[in-house]
Chain A
């Protein structure tokens, strides 16, 4: 809200300069976002404007007087309020929900929606522009001057926070105002020129012909004030905040009035606001008040006082505020406070320091209490804790002590899973892959780009009702789109080496209305060189290809102490059919690895086939161990033998199968098998054949092996290979 400094100072006995005031208000619960120097359009007036940002619980700060009250409490200075009574509002007649007064009748059909409706009639007014002082004030506060009567209602809205509406009384059918729900399909042209189609959820002000205003939001054109209006009916009502909020949202409009009603307007402000408006109208438009105000209301709007235990204030805040100090702070806010004299003894022994606070709460009951009468303008204060907050605000947050909570008997440590997750990130980064953070949303198009089949589980994605951006309407079910989009981002900027991984959640639908399963995944995309610089280095030493990324997974499992890692040829539509694998741990599939298919490469416009990885991190971490167990160093030397096999080039003779065959047939002395060379040469080896060279390491933990023993083991292996795998063997 725009608060002109000179306007505000009219109510305050203080000479605090504007910038100082801005700081005090900000630190005192009313944030001043900006201090603006303002000059009126006609150049005649200047002012300093405090632009405030009011939290949604403090509707009472949406007026000059409200700001002045709060300022007075913070500065401990006197408040000078305008006279808010006239004879006609002093003792208005009260009756149920229907009241007639002269030519005016008011009926409230919906008391929950409109618990109070007050009105005042003025006759003989003359519509003309407002005097300069009024126009300048409105302009400074950001409201356009429109003519004296309307200006007066806007002035009161800004000054007191009570929205008013002025009807041309002669345009009201039979002078009868009815507050009721709209009928479904009822129409109203509001003064902004829009035709509103109403529903029975909307609260309207009507006359006997039909709706004339959208209650608490905006008036209608039919009964709008004109230049010739002389007979005015001023409406000053209290509406249900939720009702107004829903109506304003339904019709996508927010007005000065609806903004305030949504945040609660003091129900006891209707008559003072009418009195103030009448004063201003008589001053600027002439005319007479016709008869006493009409005040139709559901109840008396009185409030029960709230009990506050001063010791509780200190218990919550950690302060040592004496009872009289607390009383003074609350009185500064205009609250009525009565202390319980019978418990004054408690006060006499002074309020406790922190150590004393420990025996609480049994002792607290014996302590004194006070009763606090809170004005109806503060609906946000209902409980003891709310009063404690007020005390804290007026006392000043920065004047309160600063301590640390007492010790507790547990250490702050990461859980096993958290430690392992950090380790995964470390290993991936150690391999030179950058950590990526991408959005949790993806587009339906991404699922198509990944060539996922219709029945793929990734297609069961949660759909946002109102997405924020294009291609981000689904919650991700896979991390791959985020990485592919990132790769594309880099390629478009001519960065062709991309190595990214992400650890993040995916969301797997479990049916309508049920929260999805959130699983942690690890995914990576790599293309280009793994090395910082590659001069003179052959391609195979630098390229991040299938085997490079596979090596990273093997390293990762090693660092996580995961055993039983195997790979099988995979069949995934997004991956190259010949160059992709399923990642398996202990016989359980945990994810996939491979080159992207040509289709995916095209869809994301990548210059070379990237390698992708995505595994279920929750499963991997469940299989991991934080601590490795030491295996003793061998005491006796190993014997190495190399073996070359020429075998068929098929799945049955894959690396894993050959190693397994050697392990099965190698006997107890065989310690390890590794492949160090593979090649195919149709001319020398024959079509469909390949040569695989492996190194076999033999060892006995308790003695040195003899050549004869190793020869014997080698013969067993070779025989097995020749018989079962149709291998031609060569040793050297």
Chain B
């Protein structure tokens, strides 16, 4: 009896698992598990078994039946799935049709660039400060050591609202406000909008963004400025980036420098982006002029500091390959959906 049961179980399992269609499966089910199937036959044969063996055999029949039923259902599920793939069925969907998700929008390329820059300076221990975009003449020029009526002011092409009220032409104005509000050590970066009366074209905009940096403490040196901007360049463009400094002039720094990084595209060999020079100019920098420090009441013998300013627009344009600055301000959905 036990032998027969084991044999039946094996054959039934093979038939169920080997069924290649629902019809074949149904056939196997009827043959083994049906009302007049083979298992039923054995079950009825239990009457011929000795009384004391009956419980054990009964138990065995039940587990065999349960096993086979489980296999039957598994196979049925598999075959049904198969059937969906084979023929049209209401459960069959066209998985190649487009997804219907809500949009998810990325950061504006200008602000994403700014974020990456801020991240580096936060890591170097800087905090983020801000200041007014509409400024007094004092903060716009005087406190930044601009001599009255000097050609240096022409370069700023400043917008005026009144004699004493102007739109800041550089974020350097915030240097003064930050230093007026606190004693050294100072370590801040200032992201923000600036304005110059530029003709609008592919590379100029009357509204633009800068990131200003300021570090003032005892013993801060020009070498520290170089190291800080090298760290910045490497953070933005990778560890093999070099930074180059050349003299420039800003009334509020002395010595003053213009700084450039090796071109992220050609790594210094020269290409279209760097106009063949291998370098990309990023901005101006220098040691804060003692007149500026004295103006905010700092002890110029004790404290030195450096400041730097980076333009964001051209940086972002180079980075993402955006050819026209006006696109950044256009609100063009076809542009913005790409980021």
Residues of chain A whose beta carbon lies under 8 Å from any beta carbon of chain B: 26-29, 31, 55-58, 242, 245-246, 262-263, 315-319, 354, 357-358, 360-361, 364, 383, 385-386, 388-389, 392-393, 397-398, 400-408, 410-415, 418, 425, 428-441, 462-469, 472, 475, 482-483, 485-487, 489-490, 493, 495, 497-500, 505, 507, 512-513, 515-516, 518, 530-535, 537
Contacts and interface: CB of A to CB of B under 8 A. Distances in A.
5 contacts: A57-B152, A397-B245, A412-B122, A429-B107, A533-B99
Majority SS at the chain B contact face: mixed
Interface stretch (B60-68, B81-89, B326-334): B326-334
Interface stretch (B16-24, B44-52, B155-163): B155-163
B295 interface: no
B1 interface: no
Contact of B100 (A432, A436, A532): A532
A400 B222 contact: yes
Contact of B159 (A58, A428, A466, A489): A466
B142 to A, nearest CB: 15
Contacts, number: 276
A414 B244 CA distance: 30
A673 to B, nearest CB: 27
Nearest to A495: B333
A468 B206 contact: yes
Interface in B183-236: 185, 187, 193, 195, 197-200, 206-207, 215, 217-224, 226-228, 230-231
A54 to B, nearest CB: 9
Contacts of A358: 218-219
Output the residue of A317, A383, A432 with the most chain B CB within 10 A. Answer: A317
B179 interface: no
A52 to B, nearest CB: 13
B206 A439 contact: yes
B302 A361 contact: yes
Contacts of B270: none
A516 B136 CA distance: 11
B40 interface: no
A56 B150 contact: yes
Contacts of A487: 331
A385 B124 contact: no
A385 B300 CA distance: 11
A309 to B, nearest CB: 10
Nearest to B287: A316
Given A436-B108, A533-B99, A400 B161 contact: no
B132 interface: yes
Given A358-B219, A406-B219, A500-B336, 4 more contacts: A31-B246, A440-B195, A464-B159, A518-B133
A305 B102 CA distance: 72
B161 A462 contact: yes
Nearest to A393: B247
Contacts of A493: 332, 334
Contacts of A530: 102-103
A228 B23 CA distance: 122
Contact of A402 (B111, B160, B226): B226
A412 B127 CA distance: 5
Going nearest first, the 5 A-B pairs with the smallest beta carbon separation are A486-B331, A318-B223, A432-B103, A318-B221, A55-B249
A649 B198 CA distance: 56
Contacts of A246: 149
B104 A432 contact: yes
A468 B201 CA distance: 12
B337 interface: yes
B331 A29 contact: no
Nearest to B299: A361
Contacts of A242: 148-149
Majority SS at the chain A contact face: loop
Given A245-B151, A412-B127, A437 B100 contact: no
B121 interface: yes
B100 to A, nearest CB: 5
A512 B161 CA distance: 10
B43 to A, nearest CB: 45
Contacts of B199: 468
Contact of B125 (A401, A412, A463): A412
Contacts of A357: 219
A8 B37 CA distance: 113
Contacts of A26: 246
A151 to B, nearest CB: 27
A398 B220 contact: no
Nearest to B336: A434
Contacts of A406: 217, 219
B248 to A, nearest CB: 6
Output the residue of A315, A403, A512 with the most chain B CB within 10 A. Answer: A403
B121 A412 contact: yes
B136 A515 contact: yes
B161 A464 contact: yes
Contacts of A385: 254, 287, 289-290
A390 B268 CA distance: 29
B101 interface: yes
A403 B224 contact: yes
B111 A437 contact: yes
A532 B98 contact: yes
Given A315-B304, A512-B162, A531-B103, A27 B223 contact: no
A407 B160 contact: no
Contacts of A436: 108, 331, 336
Nearest to B136: A515
Given A437-B328, A465-B161, A56 B337 contact: no
B219 A315 contact: yes
A388 B99 contact: no
Contacts of B215: 405
A507 B111 CA distance: 21
Contact of B304 (A316, A431, A500): A316
A532 B44 CA distance: 64
A56 B249 contact: yes
B224 A316 contact: no
Interface in B234-287: 244-249, 251, 254-257, 287
B152 A56 contact: yes
Given A398-B244, A464-B160, A483-B331, A412 B126 contact: yes
A595 B220 CA distance: 56
B147 to A, nearest CB: 9
A414 B122 CA distance: 8
A429 B329 contact: no
B165 interface: yes
A440 B151 contact: no
Contacts of A485: 331
Nearest to A468: B206
B321 interface: no
Contacts of A439: 206-207, 329
B227 A402 contact: yes
A245 to B, nearest CB: 6
Contact of B105 (A432, A466, A468, A513): A432
Interface string B85-129: 000000000000111111111111011000000000111111110
B176 interface: no
Contacts of B159: 464-468
Contacts of B149: 242, 245-246
Given A357-B219, A404-B228, A418-B128, A389 B254 contact: yes
B301 interface: yes
A338 B225 CA distance: 31
A69 B228 CA distance: 33
A404 B226 CA distance: 8
B249 A57 contact: yes
B217 to A, nearest CB: 7
Contacts of A413: 122, 127
Contacts of B134: 462, 475, 507, 515-516, 518
A435 B108 contact: yes
A403 B136 CA distance: 36
Nearest to B107: A435
Contacts of B126: 412
